[in-house]
Amino acid sequence: MSRGRYWALVPLAFGALLMLFPLWWMLVVSLETPAQAGAATVEVGALELLPSEPQWHNYADAAREVGSVEWQGFLDALANSILVTFLTVLFTVLSCSLVGYALARIRFRGRGALFGVMLATMMLPPQVTMIPMFLVFRSLGWVDTILPLVVPALFGNAFFIFMFRQFMAQVPESLVEAARLDGCGHLEVWWRVMLPLCRPVIAITAVFTFIFVWNDFLGPLIYLHSERKATLAVALNSFRNQFGGLEDVQYLMALSLITMIPCILLFLVAQRQFVEGLGKGAVKG
Amino acid sequence: MASVSLKGLSKVYPGGVTAVQGVDLEVRDGEFVVLVGPSGCGKSTTLRMVAGLEEISAGELRIGERLVNEVPGRDRDVAMVFQSYALYPHLSVRQNLAFPLERRRAHGSKLLRLASAGYRAAARAEDAALAARVDEAARTLGITALLERKPGALSGGQRQRVAVGRALVREPAVFLFDEPLSNLDAKLRVEMRAELARLHQRLGATMLYVTHDQEEAMTLGDRLVVMEGGVVQQCGTPRDVYDRPANRFVAGFVGTPSMNFLPATLVEDAGAPALDVHGARLALPPSSRARPRAPRRGRARRAPGRARALRRGRPG
């Protein structure tokens, strides 16, 4: 490696350290005793580089204390988060790829206009639609169920539809024609030919959606009212209200880290596809 | 196998561009017909109309006795080999070959298989028959060793063989080839051409083949259809098209080197019509003399002639 490239690593390493510092801080505080954690919260100098006596039981203690019944609150929230996230990711990938296929491969009157309208929805902030959406879901009797969180995913997301559409438009026409002569209708071409080819876009859609839904706080807060239906993000907020004081901050950090683990793992596993997908979306677009 | 009949087939794109105009062609059962012409002459569009990939603007298309103008491509019993091979990159060669057969199995067969023991046995037999057909096609084309590979791990020639194999397993009424050899190098192209000719002889299948390469057309086709400007210029055996071109375009297009056109005048020589080319007299063949509407004498003409037909004469 040339000397110039070493120098280029300096700002990158500094940036990485800056990004990793909060994570490291959370990890260290989550393993401290209550006194050490409280001190580290008010004074940066009191923070150890590595905990001298890591309190691993903090994690189990934190998870046990979520909700009004021991363990049940945490396990319910975990199950709800997994269910909502799984369904939303699945529905988003299916609906966005299907719409993307239609916009890229089926010629119909008004296709361009429809694509334009769909892109325009990206400029609409979600806060604008929040109240009308709530009224609609309330009139359907869906409040305090997971339906308002997962059903909208069946109607696609403009950004991901755009990515799928751009990617599918690059697939050679002859491949689609061959599939149609081989006996496939549009749905089969989409399912058997296009989806397997769209793996990078599927990966990026799945990862983005997972991270967004797993961390989503506002949606579950609005629609899920019962304690047993709360997701991890909502449960974590209730926990913060309960254990947000300086004397129990290690529990809050432990639970926050537990909540973050799936996102970190997913990113590490899908990192290659993620970067590839981003590149493809950018170049082929 | 089946015959293919095109009657007044035309293709007009939105915006009024006419790609194909009134093509009449009868392809006999088991015949190998090659559509040849320069780029943009309408040969691929004609083939795509037969495949059902382009809508027919006017005219009639029959495969066998069946009028198929409104029949989707997948129900026309045709198989097509594309210029770009169009192999499914995520599937192995075996899965590529089996793909059209699996798509033609009854929908929902897997659910039924779970429900009925009798159906399970029938489905197993169907699976075995499908695998046998794939193996046979692979043996015919010499690609048995490649069956578990993905298309990305194959050479151009191997991919081409797989593409032909995918058409072969379906045992269609008509094979359609859209410039299938144009992506291969010269040596491989010659090899594949010979292989296609052998395949046609062996199967006796009806084949419609598009190429812009006249050498390919001359060596492969039972008959050639020379096209230009969306119109059929001549349809005949390779020998006919080469020796008796119907018009100047065909004369100039077919043959390497192409036919020469010398400025000439129609004159009378010893009571018989002849051409005067730079002072030399060329007697017209008897067939030209017998023409009921021979051109007027003295009129400027172009005398066509192939270099190989010229003989060195004695001076004077």
pLDDT per position as a tens digit, A44-55? 777 777 888 888
Chain A residue numbers touching B79 (CB-CB < 8 A): 181
Q: How much of chain B exceeds pLDDT 90, in percent? A: 52
Contact of B182 with chain A, judged by CB distance below 8 Å, is answered with no
Do residues B70 and B193 share a domain?
Answer: yes
Instruction: Tell me if B134 is assigned to some domain.
Output: no
Q: What is the pLDDT of residues A56-101, one digit of tens each?
A: 998 998 888 887 788 888 999 999 999 999 999 999 999 999 999 9
**Rounded CA separation A175/A181 (Å):** 10
List B residues 23-42 in contact with A (Cβ-Cβ < 8 A): none
B86, B100, B104 ranked by CB distance to A174: nearest: B86
What string of DSSP letters covers A161-207? HHHHHHHHHHS-HHHHHHHHHTT--HHHIIIIIIHHHTHHHHHHHHH
* Residue type present at position B49: M
- Residue B45: both structure tokens together: 């569009």
Q: Which residues of B142-155 are buried (b: 16+ CB within 10 A; e: fewer)?
A: ebeebbeebbeebe
Residue B276: partners with Cβ closer than 8 Å, 6 or more residues away: B264, B265, B266, B267, B282
Do A193 and B51 make contact, defined as CB atoms within 8 angstroms? no
Residue A279 binned pLDDT confidence (cut-offs 50, 70, 90): low
Strands B206-211 and B174-178, sheet pairing: parallel
Q: How far does the CA of residue A163 sit from the closest CA of chain B (Å)?
A: 20
Q: What is the pLDDT of residues B8-34, one digit of tens each?
A: 999 999 888 999 999 999 999 999 999
Do residues B181 and B67 share a domain?
Answer: yes
Query: Is residue A227 over pLDDT 80?
Result: yes
Mean pLDDT of chain B: 86
Do residues B206 and B237 share a domain?
Answer: yes
The answer to whether residues B208 and B25 touch, using CB atoms and an 8 Å cutoff, is no
Q: How much of chain A exceeds pLDDT 90, in percent? A: 54
Residue with structure tokens 């096209």? B227
* Preferred mutation among A107, A108, A182 to probe B, highest tally of B CBs within 10 A: A182
Contact of B281 with chain A, judged by CB distance below 8 Å, is answered with no
Residue A105: partners with Cβ closer than 8 Å, 6 or more residues away: A168, A169, A176, A186, A189, A194
Predicted local distance difference test score (pLDDT) of residue B312: 64
Instruction: Tell me if B222 is assigned to some domain.
Output: yes
Cβ-based interface (< 8 Å): residues of A facing B: 172, 174-175, 177-184, 188, 193, 196-197
Do residues B183 and B203 share a domain?
Answer: yes
Instruction: Tell me if B151 is assigned to some domain.
Output: no
The answer to whether residues B242 and B305 touch, using CB atoms and an 8 Å cutoff, is no
Q: What is the pLDDT of residues A117-160, one digit of tens each?
A: 999 998 888 888 999 999 999 999 999 999 999 999 999 999 99
Do residues B181 and B64 share a domain?
Answer: yes
Instruction: Spell out the domains of chain A, with CATH numbers in brackets.
Output: 60-284 (1.10.3720.10)
Predicted local distance difference test score (pLDDT) of residue A244: 65
Predicted local distance difference test score (pLDDT) of residue B230: 94
* Preferred mutation among B55, B71, B87, B90 to probe A, highest tally of A CBs within 10 A: B90
Do B103 and A188 make contact, defined as CB atoms within 8 angstroms? yes
Q: Which residue of A has its CA nearest to B105?
A: A183
Question: Which range, of A46-60, A194-208, B239-253, averages the lowest pLDDT?
Answer: A46-60
Do residues B240 and B267 share a domain?
Answer: no
Predicted local distance difference test score (pLDDT) of residue A276: 67
Cα three-residue angle B60-B68-B133, rounded to 5 degrees: 135
Query: Is residue B282 over pLDDT 80?
Result: no
Do residues B239 and B265 share a domain?
Answer: no
A177, A184, A196 ranked by CB distance to B103: nearest: A184
Choose one of B196, B215, B248: the last residue of a domain.
B248
Whole-complex ipTM: 0.83
The answer to whether residues B61 and B67 touch, using CB atoms and an 8 Å cutoff, is yes
Question: Which range, of A61-65, B34-38, B241-245, B267-271, averages the lowest pLDDT?
Answer: B267-271
Do residues B180 and B241 share a domain?
Answer: yes
Contact of B173 with chain A, judged by CB distance below 8 Å, is answered with no
Q: Per-residue pLDDT averaged across A193-222, rounded?
A: 92
Chain B residue numbers touching A184 (CB-CB < 8 A): 74, 103
Residue B290 binned pLDDT confidence (cut-offs 50, 70, 90): very low
Contact of B104 with chain A, judged by CB distance below 8 Å, is answered with yes
Our count of domains for chain B comes to: 2
Predicted local distance difference test score (pLDDT) of residue A285: 31
Q: For residue A95, what are the CA distances in angstroms to A36, A153, A214, B201, B312?
A: 49, 7, 19, 49, 76
Do residues B184 and B289 share a domain?
Answer: no
- Residue A221: both structure tokens together: 């807060």
Range of the domain at B177: 4-77+172-248
Q: What is the pLDDT of residues B175-222, one digit of tens each?
A: 999 999 988 888 888 888 998 999 899 889 999 999 998 889 999 999
Choose one of B248, B274, B297: the last residue of a domain.
B248
Residue B288 binned pLDDT confidence (cut-offs 50, 70, 90): low
A175, A177, A183 ranked by CB distance to B103: nearest: A183
Q: Per-residue pLDDT averaged across A201-208, rounded?
A: 91
The answer to whether residues B261 and B307 touch, using CB atoms and an 8 Å cutoff, is no
What string of DSSP letters covers chain B? ---EEEEEEEEE-TTS-EEEEEEEEEEPTT-EEEEE-STTSSHHHHHHHHHTSS--SEEEEEETTEE-TTS-GGGTTEEEE-TT----TTS-HHHHHHHHHHHTSPTTHHHHHHH-HHHHHHHHHHHHHHHHHHHHHHHHHT-GGGTTS-GGGS-HHHHHHHHHHHHHTT--SEEEEESTTTTS-HHHHHHHHHHHHHHHHHH--EEEEEES-HHHHHHH-SEEEEEETTEEEEEE-HHHHHHS-SSHHHHHHSSSSPPEEEEEEEEEETTEEEEEETTEEEEPPHHHHT-TTPPPTT-EEEEEE-GGG--PPPP-
CATH number, residue B189: 3.40.50.300
Instruction: Tell me if B138 is assigned to some domain.
Output: no
Highest mean pLDDT among A68-72, B63-67, B252-256: B63-67
Residue A85 parent element (H or E): helix A72-105
Query: Is residue A243 over pLDDT 90?
Result: no
Instruction: Tell me if B237 is assigned to some domain.
Output: yes
pLDDT: which is higher, A47 or A170: A170
Q: How far does the CA of residue B151 sit from the closest CA of chain A (Å)?
A: 13
Predicted local distance difference test score (pLDDT) of residue B313: 63
B51, B83, B89 ranked by CB distance to A181: nearest: B51
Q: What is the pLDDT of residues B203-215, one digit of tens each?
A: 899 999 999 988 8
Instruction: Tell me if B86 is assigned to some domain.
Output: no
Choose one of B196, B216, B248: the last residue of a domain.
B248
**Rounded CA separation A8/A45 (Å):** 30
Q: What is the pLDDT of residues B89-125, one digit of tens each?
A: 999 999 999 999 988 775 555 666 666 777 777 778 8
Do residues B235 and B284 share a domain?
Answer: no
Q: Per-residue pLDDT averaged across B271-294, rounded?
A: 68
Predicted local distance difference test score (pLDDT) of residue B307: 65
The answer to whether residues A211 and A263 touch, using CB atoms and an 8 Å cutoff, is yes
Query: Is residue B293 over pLDDT 80?
Result: no
B74, B84, B89 ranked by CB distance to A197: nearest: B89
Chain A residue numbers touching B78 (CB-CB < 8 A): 181
Query: Is residue B295 over pLDDT 60?
Result: no
A177, A193, A196 ranked by CB distance to B53: nearest: A177
CB neighbourhood size of A29 (10 A) = 25
Do residues B181 and B296 share a domain?
Answer: no
Residue A101: partners with Cβ closer than 8 Å, 6 or more residues away: A164, A165, A168, A186, A189, A190, A194
Contact of B103 with chain A, judged by CB distance below 8 Å, is answered with yes
**Rounded CA separation A17/A207 (Å):** 24
Instruction: Tell me if B122 is assigned to some domain.
Output: no
- Residue A58: both structure tokens together: 């903090």
Predicted local distance difference test score (pLDDT) of residue B120: 74
For B23, phi and psi rounded to 5 degrees? Answer: -80, 125
Do A175 and B74 make contact, defined as CB atoms within 8 angstroms? no
- Residue A207: both structure tokens together: 């990862």
Instruction: Tell me if B88 is assigned to some domain.
Output: no
Do residues B240 and B282 share a domain?
Answer: no
The number of angstroms, rounded, from the C-alpha of A64 to the middle of its chain's C-alpha atoms is 25
The conformational region for residue B35 under phi > 0 = left, psi -120 to 50 = alpha, else beta, is: beta
